[in-house]
Amino acid sequence: MYLLGGLSAGIVLGVFRPALREKHSAFIVSVLAAMPVSIGITMLVTGKARDWTIEEWSTAAFMSLFIAAVGIAVLWQDSETSG
């Protein structure tokens, strides 16, 4: 599950690489890239996705927003300090 989530995130980042130049579009791309990872983590914790309720789906959505926000903050801060 982790391998598929990471592979899916890498594919999303590769496809939308030109959109990573601006902060707003980079955040949207990172949310899309974090979604497979979040779904995979939620699946490992709760079980099959077909048995999910709104709580599990909202957990995966908020987790992807959090992962994306942290990732963008770290990457953009690092790129601004390195020149």
Residue 54 binned pLDDT confidence (cut-offs 50, 70, 90) = very high
d(CA 83, CA 72): 17
Domain boundaries, position 28: 2-82
Q: Is the pTM of this model over 0.85?
A: no
Q: Give the closest residue to 71 by CA, choosing from 3, 12, 44, 58.
A: 12
What's the structural domain count of the chain?
A: 1
Supply angle C-alpha 63, 67, 35, rounded to 5.
60
Q: Give the closest residue to 12 by CA, choosing from 43, 48, 39.
A: 39
First-last CA distance in the chain = 37
Give residue 36's Cα distance to chain centre. Answer: 7
Give percent above pLDDT 90 in the chain. Answer: 19
Give percent above pLDDT 70 in the chain. Answer: 89
